[in-house]
Amino acid sequence: MAAIPPVCDFGWKAPSFRLPATDGRVWTLADIAGPKGTLVMFICNHCPYVLAVIDRIVRDARDLQALGIGVAAICSNDAATYPDDGFDNMVTKAAEWGLPFPYLHDEDQSVARAYDAVCTPDFFGFNADLALQYRGRLDASRKTAGAADLRRELFEAMKQVAETGRGPEEQVPSMGCSIKWK
């Protein structure tokens, strides 16, 4: 069943974290934070909503990193119930997808709870002060990728954040599979 997160709570501060990644490192929010902003996204290995747009997520992440936005993805799903989302499979998918950002494992789900993550994908775009400015969708794609020329809502919003410190007033929430809680 599809889940939809709440609208952006402008100014909400990013909770810190310390999580292991598929690259063998342990990353903190401070490690990931970019000079112009930070994008934290909750994804997973098996969700059809993520799989439909992973190439666009990678494209937008690269473009945002070039603008000074730090980027990370977190998988918080219960791997006991959803083995496809286990850490070993995360390592495989990170390589297969060519992720240009850390892919973090939130095994105890504490970070997903701290962020009040709802679905995969769920995007949290913060300004340089780690104040929330975007909680919208990547683009208008759903379980299948939309047309190649869809408006790049996440990219445009985070570009605005990088330039002004503020996200757009109008945002369309993301939609995806619910976080698989323990």
* pLDDT, position 40: 98
On the 0-12 / 13-18 / 19+ scale of CB atoms within 10 A, 169 is: exposed
Per-residue burial over 28-65, b if 16 or more Cβ lie within 10 Å, else e, is: ebeebbbebbbbbbbbbbbbebbbbbbebbbebbeebe
* Residue 1 burial by Cβ neighbours in a 10 Å radius (0-12, 13-18, 19+): exposed
- The pLDDT assigned to 1 comes to 61
Three-state DSSP at 109 gives coil
Q: For domain 2-178, which CATH number applies: 3.30.70.1560, 3.30.360.10, 3.40.30.10, 3.40.50.300?
A: 3.40.30.10
Q: Supply 70's token pair.
A: 């730090």
The predicted pLDDT at position 156 comes to 98
pLDDT for res 72: 98
Strands (E), the chain: 2-3, 18-20, 26-28, 37-42, 69-75, 103-105, 119-120, 122-126, 132-134, 176-178
Instruction: Give the pLDDT confidence score for residue 3 in this predicted structure.
Output: 83
pLDDT of res. 4: 83
Give the C-alpha separation, 23 to 8, whole Å.
Answer: 31
- How does DSSP assign 55-77, residue by residue? HHHHHHHHHHHHTTEEEEEEE-S
All structural domains of the chain with their residue ranges: 2-178
Whole-model pTM over 0.95:
yes
Low-confidence ranges of the chain (pLDDT < 50): none
Judged by phi (left if over 0) then psi (alpha if -120 to 50, else beta), residue 165 lies in left
